[in-house]
Amino acid sequence: MRIELPDWAGFPRVSVTALALCLILPAGAVAGTISIFDVGTTVSVTDDTGRLTNLSCLAETCSFTLNFPQNAYYGVSSDFGVNILEPGTSLDSDVLWEHFAGAYPNTYSTWSFTSYTDDNLHPQFDLANIVETGTMQTAIVITYEDHLGNILSTDTIQFQSDEGVPEPSSVRITLAGLAMLGIAALLRRMPSPRAC
C-alpha cells in the first residue's frame, strides 16, 4: 500500500510571504468605548481606548479630547451630538456634543457632556434626541477610516443617566401633594362648627 502526501513545496514560500505582509501592513485599530456616568450630583468618564486626553470634569460638566487611532486619516461620527431628554418631555436633561474636530486630516475630536438640573432644563439643540432610561445607552459611534476610505475601527460614546432617581423638583411636588392630602384628611375628621 502506498500513501501519497500532498505537495508541500510551495508551503515555505507562502508562509514567509504571509508573515512578511503581517509585519509590513498596519494593524487595524481596536474599537473602544468611552462611558459617561451621570448618576448623582457629579459626572464621571471612563475610557478603554487609551486615547482620551484633556479630561476635565467639574460638577455636572465633562469635556475631553478623543485622539484618533494610529493610521486613521479621519473619523466620522454618527451625529455631532445628542439631546438626552427627560422621559415625557421635550426638554434636555443632558447634552453631549462634538465642538471641535481637528483639521483635515482629522487627528482628534473634542466633546462636552453637560447635565442640567431639573430646575434648569434647556430646550433642545439642533441635534438627535434620545430619551434617558437610567441604563447604559449608546449616544455616538465614531467610524475611523484610512486615507483610502477603508474602515479601520469604531469607537462608541455611551452614557448612563440617573433617570430612575427622582429629580429635586419632582420630590418637592410629591411632598407638597402628600401634605395637601394629609391636611384634607385632617379637615374631614374635624367636627363641623355648630350654629349658635
Q: Confidence class of residue 155 from pLDDT cuts 50, 70 and 90?
A: very high
Domain boundaries, given as residue ranges, for the chain? 32-187
- Residue 5 pLDDT: 45
pLDDT band at 65 (very low <50, low <70, confident <90, very high): very high
The grid coordinates listed for 135 are: 441604563
DSSP string covering the chain: ---PPP--TTHHHHHHHHHHHHHHSPPPPPPEEEEEEE-SS-EEEEESSS-EEEEEEETTEEEEEEEPPTT--EEEES-SEEEEEPTTSSEEEEEEEEEEEPSSSP-EEEEEEEE--GGG-EEPPSSEEEE--SSEEEEEEEEEE-TTS-EEEEEEEEEEE-TTSPPHHHHHHHHHHHHHHHHHHHHHHSPPPPP-
Q: What is the pLDDT of residues 158-181, one digit of tens each?
A: 999 876 444 455 556 667 677 777
Model pLDDT, residue 27: 47
pLDDT of residue 174: 67
For residue 131, pLDDT over 60 is answered with yes
Within 8 A by CB and 6+ apart from 40, the residues are 162, 165
**Which is more confidently placed, 122 or 168?**
122
Position with higher pLDDT, 189 vs 51:
51
Q: With contact defined as beta carbons under 8 Å apart, do 145 and 65 qualify?
A: no
Specify the higher pLDDT residue, 142 or 120: 142
pLDDT: is 98 or 12 the higher one?
A: 98
Task: Tell me the longest C-alpha to C-alpha distance in the chain.
Answer: 129
What is the pLDDT of the chain when averaged over all its residues? Answer: 76
Statement: residue 34 has pLDDT above 90: yes
Categorize the per-residue pLDDT at 99 as very low, low, confident or very high, splitting at 50, 70 and 90. confident
Q: What is the pLDDT of residue 191?
A: 75
